[in-house]
A and B are shown apart, each in its own frame.
Chain A
Amino acid sequence: MTEIAFPAPDPRIMGRRDAILAGLAALLPAECLVTSEDERRAYETDALTAYRRMPLAVCLPRSTEEVAAVLRFCHAEGVKVVARGAGTSLAGGAIPQEDAIVLGVTKMARILDVNFEDRVIRVEAGVTNLAVTAAVAEKGFFYAPDPSSQLACTIAGNIAMNSGGAHCLKYGVTTNNVLGVKMVLIDGTVVDIGGDFLDAGGLDLLGLVVGSEGQLGVVTEATLRILRAAEGARPVLFGFGSSEAAGECVAAIIGAGLIPVAMEFMDKPAIEICEAFAKAGYPLDVEALLIVEVEGSDEEIESQLARIVEIARAHGVQVIKESKSAMETAAIWKGRKSAFGATGRVADYICMDGTVPTGQLPYVLKRTGEIVASYGLRVANVFHAGDGNMHPLILYNVNDPAEQAKAEAAGADILRLCVDAGGCLTGEHGVGIEKRDLMTHQFNAEDLAQQLRVRAAFDPQWLLNPAKVFPLEGRDAA
């Protein structure tokens, strides 16, 4: 894979920067408009830090009306818009381009309405994922999608990328937990899609908007389902002598009719990295580790864990560690949840996100190791085993351009492997710029042309996050 290309900045826009800033300044108060180079720098990349572009300006509106005013202006002036939540995208979904403004939603972070009777919450889109749960926790409720970045990431970003998390095996991903959005179209029109009820009739525009990576409009408010939390939850940790044995154990647990709330897999390199960081008590003499968490009352947890342990024994488990206390539970999860951060202390890495049919996991894991080794690099695997969503972390040195190129090439090979094994390029991170040029491996020309036509129905001038998701070539097909 060669370096990801950005479209050349449009000289007609670059030449009018002053006039465009003046136009925006007429719409927003000074504290909502970032124009200085120093301050704009904070917005030039997201969590795909190998790529960065300085935006024209950054708008931080405080209301749907201000978002609408900015979009109306950009539409009239032909200015591109990259919407941004907290900038935690691993796929480069929020990376700007030089001839675009960044439209950040972080000043819109209020909880608008909580309704426990109907089990819904209405929030402004800039609220963080964890703040939603915090707003309902006192009555024992929670918001289910829990991406690793949940402390920082916003609901706006979660909706854009259809974020998942460790617990979506049981509770689904963002699209299964959003009931309605308020969204501003590129021409400034404000639409309400869905509401505080389920399955509205008519076309499922809500389903289309979730995961559309900021290409159809800018979401400013969302109505989310909240759920009553289980009485308790407890993980068990298994160590296996091979990834295959761990994979077969996962299949057997599902085959027995159990839906644990999470089933997380780590391979040996990942175990070592996480244990060194989190001191979670992970066994270091095994090849693969599974964290399986179940929920319910104490007695229910005991009986489910007993079933699961029995299955694990039948699959040659070497280490069994049942959590006996809240502290042990926290330690087990701390290791897993800090996997990305802990890896970042050891080396730079890129995180892949392909999903494969669960039956293909052992094969894809084996091939992943071979692919990365063939580039002379190392890989650590951490992933959601229950749903086949893999996260190989390819370790490299970001200051070595040759190594970066190798890492990206290995990543692309792994994603092609995932597609060829019956899976897809991305399970929960989104396409962004990172996987944009691989879209042709998963979709043929007809598939992509149909998506482009749908996109054009919302944004015919391609102003919204235009360099993302779809390969830069072939866009005329729509």
Chain B
Amino acid sequence: MSLALATPVTVHAPRSEAEAAEIVRAARGPLAIEGGGTRSGYGRPAQAAATLSTRNLAGIALYNPAEMTIVARAGTTVSEIEAALAEQGQMLPFEPLDPRPLWGGAGEPTIGGVTASALAGPRRIQAGGVRDSLVGVRFVNGRGDIVKSGGRVMKNVTGLDLVKLQCGAMGALGLIVEVAFKLLPRPQAGATLALDGLDDARAVAALSAALGSPFEASGGAHLPARGGAPARTLVRLENFEESIRYRVAQMTTLLAPFGRAMRLDDAEADALWRDIRDARPFAAPDARAVWRVSTAPSRSPALVAAIGACMSVEAFYDWGGGLVWLACDAAGDAGASIIRGALAGGGHATLMRAPDAVRAATEVFQPQTAALAALGASLKQAFDPDRLFNPGRMVARH
């Protein structure tokens, strides 16, 4: 099959949301939305001859640390935001995935890209996902209207929650021009406990015990044996120094039936959690297909075993076992039918990385029931009736 996707020739880089709205109103054909360009390998290959870039829509608009919220334009780099927050001892709660290791890109990830792709890291289990911290958006819809939803306060149920809808919509519902996030204080201290040598099922049982304890684990991951390294199961605690001392002792006791938990060196632990967040075990130039599967922790070891019985696959687990990263051969449908068959509706499998041709021919996101797909199509119509934004990037028909 020939993909012959046209290389974008026109790049629009509006300097204001008003200018962005002008461009959309004047658009005669599809627009590929781009922030830092670090996630262009995510989703189906978009079919657009022009690019709409947020690179000139950048900068922190409002940050008052005492209010624990930040408002930033979509093209603001994540590094700028994280630096500003770190200076005040705060952070984005959800540990945004850095896309560069997985897709091998250069460039700087933007907060707009974080919002549109909604890929949260290990702290998801405790502090929520991208959607849970996002409290407001401004976007340009397909009619060229500037629309706001939510705001900059922590609790807001005024009107329909279009904020959540935009989060993770891959730009299909509009050009996000500004976002507001609520924040958390950076924990004063952290500790990571490791258990070595557990098989997948035993590891997930250990993680369930840890996450079902009162000690507020902020990370729970399992890295199966790899190369010469033994399997390693990790539990992260974050809190004030004196709490950490107490909770490490409690957690060690709680995990005793699974083995002797060792406290890792802080720097080593930080690097490990970063690697888990970014799926670094499968980082480029590894050319295998990569899947991200969300399911119930208690089902994930059997899921991985069932997939492994049909094809060669490597896996590791985050979110206490509820998130499974898989790497497999990228040929054919990159394992889609085997993985989704094994999942049998009990979760969602997303094809994170594969050659363009594979992602053009395979559903990147979990196929939906006819009724949900119809709602999705109606929503696309409600935001972008002329299919201007990122056509085909999320769903072939949109």
Contact = CB atoms under 8 A, between A and B. Distances in A.
Contact of A450 (B294, B368, B383): B383
Interface string A79-121: 0000000000000000000000000000000000001111110
A424 interface: yes
Given A117-B298, A427-B153, A358 B67 contact: yes
A118 B301 CA distance: 13
Interface in B229-268: 240, 242-243, 246
Interface stretch (B28-36, B182-190, B282-290, B326-334): B182-190
Interface string B294-313: 11111000000000000000
Contacts of A117: 205, 208, 212, 297-298
B162 interface: yes
Contacts of A427: 153, 155-157
B296 A384 contact: no
Interface string B220-234: 000000000000000
Interface residues of A, number: 95
Contacts of A356: 153
B317 to A, nearest CB: 13
Contact of B159 (A355, A456, A469): A469
Contacts, number: 260
A201 interface: yes
Given A231-B214, A303-B240, A356-B153, A450 B147 contact: yes
B158 A424 contact: yes
Contacts of A453: 382-383
B165 A207 contact: yes
A203 B159 contact: no
Contacts of A457: 375, 378-379, 381-382
Interface residues of B, number: 85
Interface stretch (B48-56, B79-87, B344-352): B344-352
Given A196-B296, A202-B376, A257 B185 contact: yes
Given A175-B161, A202-B394, A456-B382, A193 B372 contact: yes
B38 interface: no
A189 B184 CA distance: 40
B395 to A, nearest CB: 8
Given A172-B132, A449-B145, A453-B382, A211 B157 contact: yes
A454 B162 contact: yes
B66 A359 contact: yes
Given A189-B371, A426-B158, A300 B243 contact: yes
Given A199-B118, A358-B67, A454-B382, A162 B161 contact: yes
A198 B64 CA distance: 30
Interface string A182-196: 000100011111011
Interface stretch (B8-16, B123-131, B192-200, B354-362): B123-131
Interface in A186-233: 189-193, 195-208, 210-212, 215, 228-231
Nearest to A223: B296
A272 B287 CA distance: 69
Given A202-B368, A204-B168, A457-B381, A254 B161 contact: no
Interface string B150-174: 0111111111111111011100110
Nearest to B64: A359
Nearest to B21: A446
Interface string A131-175: 000000000110000000000000000000110100011001101
Interface of B: 64-69, 89, 118, 120, 124-125, 128-129, 131-132, 141, 145-149, 151-165, 167-169, 172-173, 184-188, 205, 208, 211-214, 216, 240, 242-243, 246, 292, 294-298, 319, 322-323, 346-348, 350, 365-366, 368-369, 371-372, 375-376, 378-379, 381-383, 394-395
Interface of A: 115-120, 140-141, 161-162, 164, 168-169, 172-173, 175-176, 185, 189-193, 195-208, 210-212, 215, 228-231, 251, 254-259, 296-297, 299-300, 303-304, 355-359, 384, 387-389, 422-431, 435, 439, 442-443, 446-451, 453-458, 469, 478
Given A117-B298, A457-B375, 20 more contacts: A117-B205, A117-B208, A162-B157, A173-B157, A175-B161, A191-B369, A195-B347, A197-B296, A199-B294, A208-B162, A355-B153, A357-B64, A359-B64, A388-B155, A423-B156, A427-B153, A431-B158, A442-B159, A450-B162, A458-B378
29 contacts: A117-B205, A118-B298, A162-B161, A172-B128, A173-B155, A175-B161, A191-B371, A195-B296, A196-B346, A197-B346, A198-B323, A202-B376, A208-B164, A208-B165, A211-B157, A255-B66, A256-B185, A257-B186, A297-B246, A299-B246, A300-B246, A424-B153, A424-B156, A431-B158, A439-B158, A450-B145, A450-B162, A453-B382, A478-B382
Q: Which 4 A-B pairs have the closest CB atoms?
A: A207-B164, A257-B185, A457-B378, A427-B155
